[in-house]
Structure 1
Amino acid sequence: MSPHIFSLVLLAALLLGQSLAAGSDAIGGLLDRLDSQRSSPSVQESAAKAVLQRLLPSHTNSFEFKILTSSDVCGGHSCFSINNYEQLSGNGPEIMIKGTTAVELASGLHWYIKYWCGAHISWDKTGGVQIASIPKPGSLPPVKDEGVTIKRPVPWSYYQNVVISSCEF
């Protein structure tokens, strides 16, 4: 490789590295601003409970939701965890879902009813809500003793993208 080409490649690599570092700082700043605007944990937990109420009104007492800071369990990433709820009596919550946001709590609920209860929730045109396989309150299947934690590989999620609303079935 000629010295001129090597110099150009080196210069490009240095500029790209600085650009990526600046972009990373900008994204970090944006995420910090978004976090500062987040609703209180109680509001987010109530929102997740409202999703449960609409989806499975008979199971509103079977689940407990708790907001965590992302540094509590996920090293700064968005995540949710699902554990068996330690009950002192036979009545009350069976499953504890913890997450960094209300969206993560709802994702944890979906994960549990999909993978532990064999239920399916989707758009009406792709099958809709199929929840007949979910056991009655008091007999929900337990998760593994150590629970399960799912970390998001990206800092935020979108409700829809441009393809979903423009698709025709």
Structure 2
Amino acid sequence: MTVIAGPHAPVDPDAFRALLRRQATTVTVVTAAGQPPVGFTATSFTSVSLRPPLVSFCLDRSSSSWPTVAGAEHVAVHLLGADQRDIAQTFATSGIDRFTAHTGWRYGPYDVPLLDEPIAWLLCRVTQRVPAGDHAIVLAEPLAGSHGDGAPLLYHMGGYAALHSEPERG
């Protein structure tokens, strides 16, 4: 085991990143209406509450998507399937028009872009933005959604991965 900090010192950011690379996370693309619309790949998506239903994702406030998300009333969160690595990569690439590079989408309610064929999606109303270091935690209330079948795309150790077996249900 590698120790990354003493008991009273903050963790070095590079060591922190190395530690968190060991956590496998689902890959989502978050989209918001704008001129042009914005979208980005996120691995920080999670459910927060059932009563009321709330979800969250985090976004770097220096991101090119932040100004639009900072003022957006609605966003869509798309859970990508194991066969959608190309979509994850497109929406993770800086300096491109992501909606021209990826043509499989349409405008949904509130003009929020909806990607074609994710394994699940949620259309959400943004309820709160909480500053957290260099990021913001965006809390959102799901208004609509849909899901299909398929294994999720995962992010682990700096790359994309997929499940090779069905999870045990307990």
Query: Normalising to structure 2: TM-score of the pair?
Result: 0.22
- Identify the structure with bigger relative contact order (alpha carbons < 8 Å, sequence gap 6+): 2
Q: Which has the higher strand share?
A: 2
Structure with bigger gyration radius? 1
Calculate the TM-score normalised by the size of structure 1.
0.22
Higher relative helix content:
1
